[in-house]
């Protein structure tokens, strides 16, 4: 018996998940393990479908060519010719005359054509009695365009369906149209039936340069951290002034590793404290929603209190400055061990719990990108924990250590203005992230990327040790700035922060509650998944306004270090590259998720990050 019914490249009719609509699709691949077909809709959307949701085109054509007398429309016409509905009698209820009906149909046809959004409607058929097998279609000329076709089963009335399809593809104001808003509501439409995220299947499109690229990154990322830290300690950190390599044994210090373990343990205890609300994340591909405790800000306050106590008892925090390289090595060792554990446990994880982007079957690729989406030990979510706590709070502690080291080394009664700016700006960023912790649940890291080396190393090593580079640099390379310059940099940081925060909040609030009255003035493009795409407000300005704000802030963090060296600008240069690449990845995922609606969004909002530039 063949294991699959449809071949790659075959054009078939695919059911839109959670609905009764069949669209023309092309089979692009088949997953033998999950028994799922990946199909591509004409608008570009890609989904994984079960065999039972796919039918051959010929089965539809066959039904269409059956005797016209058995057409439901004709059957209804013939019923209308019965005595009880004789033309001599006045029309009952909502029944229309033939000419009204024709006009009505013409109107609908016109509206569909006017909605030149390439509606994937070719033939809008009348409902069958029980299922599509018994379907007989209307003449093709009734409602048609040149792309694809929808076949309705009995549950949907054609009128309603036309209305619903139009609503899905038309742009409307949420303020003006409460009724339509209800139809849009994630709870009431498709999403209520089943979230239409792609069902996890084998990852075919490899990112980050595939296996070779990810292998190189596993080597390059730690090397870059060590290079940057070594450079920063140099008196002349010019690019060509390559630092001498330290002795390998000097890189490891058991006590430092103990401090790292203690740090993780402390943060894990704070994470487990039963304080703060518990919220649900976005629906997974299985429809399940995970619960998350929001207490990152409390963890920060408790950490600040603990550091305060240490300082009160004269603990020399600049120990961190003296041993920064050993701390980085210990954190890297820890993140590597964690990544190995994550990969090992992911091998036993059920298919539906794997990350959509980290299931290629290639060890090195899946190890890097993360094989399992939400690895948990009981209710302890490892990815969510690492995302905002040990690394992010650790970054602030390192910054503070640099500030104290600067005062001690240069015998200052007060930190330099540059150091104050860098510390305050970055403190604001971290406090903001923890205060708005819930917003992380709608980011790519949580919803799309698995937990592997990329995020483990990124969260636990890259963030605390590379993002604190400006403060580290300032200890060894004092930079004086004037008050007006400091004021100008502060204004720049505030502008960046304002864009970053309001854009992120706008999207997060909209995703969580599209009917939020605070967002009533915003317009959006509805998509077939039930989610909307904002086209006014920040998300109508550029397609990633939050990245724009983040980049402006990154520049403001580097400027207090002056212009003597490029080293403190490493962060802003790297960050632009990261976000440009991230934007391209997100764009690709959104194109797959939203198809045509995404293209419309891109037409309406042509710039990705920088208005009129990119
Ligand atoms: P975003 O928060 O930008 O989320 C992207 C998602 O938003 C898309 O996948 C889509 O998801 C949704 N979306 C896109 N366009 C619209 C629209 N018009 N209307 C409504 N929803 C839309 O992704 P990131 O996770 O990359 O970034 C989160 C924040 O983290 C950003 O501020 C970024 O700057 C910051 N960041 C910081 C880093 C750092 O190291 N400091 C690193 C990476 C990010 P869907 O439709 O499925 O909801």
Q: Ligand 1: which of 586, 591, 600 to mutate, judged by most atoms within 8 Å of the beta carbon?
A: 586
Band (pLDDT 50/70/90 cuts) for residue 34 is low
Report the phi/psi class of residue 168: left, alpha or beta, with left for phi > 0 and alpha for psi in -120 to 50.
Answer: alpha
Tens-place pLDDT, residues 54-84: 888 777 654 443 433 333 333 333 333 333 3
Residue 594, pLDDT score: 86
Asked if residue 179 has pLDDT above 90, the reply is no
Question: Which one of 221, 438, 442 would you pick to mutate in the ligand 1 pocket, going by the greatest count of ligand atoms within 8 A of its CB?
Answer: 442
H-helix or E-strand spanning residue 165: helix 158-169
336, pLDDT greater than 70: yes
Question: How far does residue 533's CA lie from ligand 1's centre (Å)?
Answer: 12
Q: Quick check: 125 pLDDT over 80?
A: no
Average pLDDT over residues 537-550: 93
- Of 107-121, 395-409, 588-602, give the lowest mean pLDDT range: 107-121
Average pLDDT over residues 529-555: 91
Name all residues whose Cβ lies below 6 A of ligand 1.
442-445, 500, 504, 507, 510-511, 531, 533-534, 539, 544, 546-547, 550, 582, 586, 589-590, 601
Average pLDDT over residues 325-334: 96
Q: Give the whole-angstrom CA distance, residue 179 versus residue 167.
A: 11
* 368, 214 Cβ separation under 8 angstroms: yes
From 174, 430, 458, 507, give the residue whose CB has the most ligand 1 atoms within 8 Å, as the site to mutate.
507
Task: Provide the pLDDT for residue 184.
Answer: 34
**Does the structure show a pLDDT above 60 at 150?**
no
Question: What ligand 1 atom has the least distance to the C-alpha of 445?
Answer: 25
Domains of the chain: 10-57 (2.30.30.140), 210-480 (no CATH), 481-613 (no CATH)
pLDDT over threshold 70, residue 20: no
Atom 40 of ligand 1: nearest residue by CA position: 463
Q: What is the residue-wise DSSP string for 435-479?
A: HTGGGGGGSHHHHT--SSHHHHHIIIIIHHHHTTHHHHHHHHS--
pLDDT over 70 (residue 404):
yes
The minimum-distance atom of ligand 1 relative to the CA of 510 is 20
3-state per-residue secondary structure call for 496-547? HHHHHHHHHHHHHHHHHCCCCHHHCCCEEEECCCCCEEECCHHHHCCCCHHH
pTM, whole model, 2 decimals? Answer: 0.70
- Smallest CA-to-CA distance from 586 within 441, 433, 445, 437 is with 445
Q: Where are the alpha helices (DSSP H) in 313-443?
A: 319-322, 324-346, 363-369, 382-388, 390-409, 417-435
> In degrees rounded to 5, what are phi and psi of residue 294?
-100, 90
What is d(CA 172, CA 183) in angstroms, rounded to the nearest whole number? Answer: 12
CA distances from 410 to 237, 359, 458, 470, 471 (A): 19, 52, 32, 17, 14
């Amino acid at each position: 018996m063949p294991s699959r019914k449809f071949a790659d490249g075959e054009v078939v009719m695919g059911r839109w998940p959670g609905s009764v609509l069949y669209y023309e699709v092309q089979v692009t691949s088949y997953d033998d393990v999950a028994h799922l077909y990946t199909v591509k809709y004409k608008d570009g959307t890609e989904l994984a479908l079960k065999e039972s949701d796919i039918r051959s085109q010929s089965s539809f054509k066959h039904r269409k060519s059956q005797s016209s007398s058995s057409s439901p429309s004709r059957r209804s016409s013939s019923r209308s010719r019965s005595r009880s509905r004789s033309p001599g009698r006045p029309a009952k209820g909502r029944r229309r005359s033939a000419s009204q009906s024709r006009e009505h149909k013409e109107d609908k046809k016109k509206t569909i054509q006017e909605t030149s959004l390439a509606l994937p409607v070719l033939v809008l058929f009348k409902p069958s009695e029980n299922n599509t097998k018994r379907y007989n279609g209307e003449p093709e000329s009734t409602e048609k365009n040149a792309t694809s076709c929808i076949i309705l089963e009995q549950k949907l009335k054609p009128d309603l369906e036309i209305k619903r399809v139009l609503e899905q593809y038309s742009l409307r104001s949420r303020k003006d149209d409460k009724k339509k808003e209800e139809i849009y509501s994630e709870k009431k439409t498709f999403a209520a039936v089943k979230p239409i995220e792609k069902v996890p299947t084998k990852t075919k499109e490899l990112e980050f340069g595939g296996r070779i690229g990810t292998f190189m990154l596993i080597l390059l990322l730690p090397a870059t951290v060590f290079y940057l830290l070594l450079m920063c300690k140099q008196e002349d950190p010019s690019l060509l002034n390559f630092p001498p390599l330290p002795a390998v044994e000097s890189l490891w210090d058991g006590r430092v590793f103990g401090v790292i373990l203690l740090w993780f343990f402390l943060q894990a205890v704070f994470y487990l404290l039963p304080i703060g609300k518990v919220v649900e994340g976005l629906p997974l591909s299985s429809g399940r929603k995970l619960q998350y405790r929001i207490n990152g800000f409390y963890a920060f306050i408790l950490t600040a209190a603990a550091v305060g106590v240490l300082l009160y008892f004269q603990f020399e925090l600049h120990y961190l400055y003296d041993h920064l390289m050993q701390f980085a090595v210990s954190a890297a060792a820890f993140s590597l061990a964690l990544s190995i554990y994550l990969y090992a446990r992911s091998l036993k994880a059920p298919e539906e719990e794997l990350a959509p982007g980290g299931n290629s079957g290639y060890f090195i690729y899946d190890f890097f990108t993360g094989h399992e989406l939400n690895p948990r030990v009981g209710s302890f979510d490892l990815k969510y924990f690492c995302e905002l706590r040990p690394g992010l709070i650790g970054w602030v502690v390192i910054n503070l250590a640099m500030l104290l080291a600067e005062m001690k080394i240069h015998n200052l009664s007060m930190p330099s203005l540059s150091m104050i700016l860098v510390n305050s700006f970055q403190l604001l960023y971290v406090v903001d992230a923890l205060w708005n912790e819930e917003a992380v649940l709608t980011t790519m890291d949580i919803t799309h990327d698995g937990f592997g080396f990329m995020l483990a190393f990124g969260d636990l090593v890259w963030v605390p040790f590379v993002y604190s580079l400006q403060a580290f640099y300032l200890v060894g390379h004092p930079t004086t700035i004037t008050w007006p310059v400091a004021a100008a940099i502060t204004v720049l940081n505030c502008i960046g922060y304002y864009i970053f925060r309001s854009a992120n909040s706008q999207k997060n609030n909209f995703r969580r509650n599209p009917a939020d009255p605070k967002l009533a003035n915003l317009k959006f493009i509805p998509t077939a998944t039930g989610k909307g795409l904002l086209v006014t407000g920040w998300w109508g300005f550029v397609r990633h306004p939050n990245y724009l704000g983040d980049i402006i802030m990154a520049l403001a963090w580097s400027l207090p270090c002056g212009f003597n060296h490029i080293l403190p600008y490493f962060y802003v240069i790297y960050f632009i590259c990261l976000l440009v690449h991230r934007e391209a990845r997100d764009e690709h995922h959104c194109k797959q998720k939203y198809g045509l609606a995404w293209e419309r969004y891109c037409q309406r909002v042509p710039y990705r990050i920088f208005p009129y530039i990119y």
